[in-house]
Structure 1
């Protein structure tokens, strides 16, 4: 995925390592390397990278202080040797929180999370099936049943069939879940090989499970990052 970023860190070795990880493992464009917050502020006046790698402990102005001065449109991946700032970091537009020293394994996990975040935003801007008060018809026996998209709680795959579940009904249709997934975008998100959920219908998320009405739905590791990228945009 083609994204642009900058690195803001006062430690040259940390900057060099992150630059190598970015160049060797992604298609991202590294626009700049800034060695203090003031240098970064000057750069960001005229440039708008998709996101920034931001160290926390820096002289003059810390990463947290800089984050508070930035536009809410600026997405952040914090990089630090200290875990105690993790909770506070998510009061900003934070995508991820990387602890130093950054390993290749952890960087690759962050890369997937970052790309899933921007992929979900792109999906949200370009819906293939409109949401809200839009509707579609599904064939049930000899009938064509009209269903509002906003009423759907989730889709459940059952081999070559899909169960469309609303509060009032459950309809089994002859379609593959994969085909439906390709036509939908947020608030509909694939969370499991067998489930697509309407995030507007969620009651809570707990222990890698989603709760919609009385239904408990698992969130698999395969789809977790993309799902959380959508949810992250709604966390206060």
Structure 2
């Protein structure tokens, strides 16, 4: 998902770490790095971003104080070394709260939450995506097959290729599952290193497994938060 973000943090080491994590694990555009609140306010007047990474403990103006000066719709991922600020942070449009030092595992969980939030926005607010239509073409061998998105049950990764499964057929795609994950959006969500599922096709969720027809698919810890963020929208 091609989202635009900035980092606001007075610690160069923390900024560098986030920059590396973003570059290595996402397709996001890091539009800027601001080392204090005043620099960030000036930057945000001139640039439109989808969300911000915001450190809480900064001199002169804290992240919480800065957040109070931003438009109320601003989406924020707070970063801090201190857990006690968590309650205050959720007075804003907080997507996640990352404790420093930020690990790769924890950052990947955050990326799932972030992309789940933007995946559920109205179409007019979504980042442009080439799969906004109700079908796409799949290259299999020398053939381009037209596949309706509504018919897809799930994608299953198998080493150097992906198995696309509908209710009537299976199509082999010579891509990695990661490449597929980078191209699809809700209602598709990755739930495991080997699976991307169409959440509209789920029959039930039980004991860290989801069921699509008779197919039982595991939900791994790595992807659970992002998956459940989508599911919670439909829980009564």
Alignment length, in residue pairs? 156
Distance 1:228 1:124 in 2: 21
Instruction: Name the residue aligned to 2:43.
Output: 43
RMSD between aligned residues: 3.3
Q: Report the secondary structure of 1:121's partner residue.
A: coil
Instruction: Name the residue aligned to 1:11.
Output: 11
Q: CA deviation at 1:112?
A: 1.0
Report if aligned partners of 1:57, 1:63 keep a CA contact under 8 Å in 2: yes
Q: Superposed, which structure 2 residues align to 1:60-75 within 5 Å?
A: 60-75=60-75
Q: CA deviation at 1:228?
A: 2.7
Report if aligned partners of 1:190, 1:223 keep a CA contact under 8 Å in 2: no
* Alignment pair present for 1:194 and 2:203: yes
The structure having more radius of gyration, on CA atoms, is: 1
Length-normalised TM-score, structure 1 = 0.57
Instruction: Name the residue aligned to 1:83.
Output: 83
Instruction: Name the residue aligned to 1:146.
Output: none
Q: CA deviation at 1:73?
A: 2.0
Q: CA deviation at 1:120?
A: 1.1
Length-normalised TM-score, structure 2 = 0.57
Report if aligned partners of 1:80, 1:99 keep a CA contact under 8 Å in 2: yes
Report if aligned partners of 1:191, 1:223 keep a CA contact under 8 Å in 2: no
- Structure 1 192/227 Cα, relative in aligned 2: closer, same or farther at 3 Å? farther
Instruction: Name the residue aligned to 1:212.
Output: none
Q: CA deviation at 1:224?
A: 4.6
Structure 2 runs not aligned, ≥5 long: 127-131, 134-166, 168-185, 189-197, 209-218
- Structure 1 230/9 Cα, relative in aligned 2: closer, same or farther at 3 Å? farther
Q: CA deviation at 1:121?
A: 1.1
Q: CA deviation at 1:192?
A: 9.5
Report if aligned partners of 1:120, 1:226 keep a CA contact under 8 Å in 2: no
- Structure 1 230/193 Cα, relative in aligned 2: closer, same or farther at 3 Å? closer
Q: CA deviation at 1:226?
A: 4.5
Distance 2:228 2:123 in 1: 12
Q: CA deviation at 1:27?
A: 0.6
Q: Which moved more, 1:90-99 or 1:116-125?
A: 116-125
Distance 1:56 1:23 in 2: 23
Structure 1 runs not aligned, ≥5 long: 129-175, 184-188, 197-207, 209-219
Q: CA deviation at 1:88?
A: 1.5
Q: CA deviation at 1:194?
A: 2.2
Report if aligned partners of 1:190, 1:227 keep a CA contact under 8 Å in 2: no
Distance 1:191 1:84 in 2: 38
Q: Report the secondary structure of 1:97's partner residue.
A: strand
Report if aligned partners of 1:55, 1:78 keep a CA contact under 8 Å in 2: yes
Q: Superposed, which structure 2 residues align to 1:88-127 within 5 Å?
A: 88-122=88-122
Report if aligned partners of 1:192, 1:223 keep a CA contact under 8 Å in 2: no
* Alignment pair present for 1:32 and 2:48: no
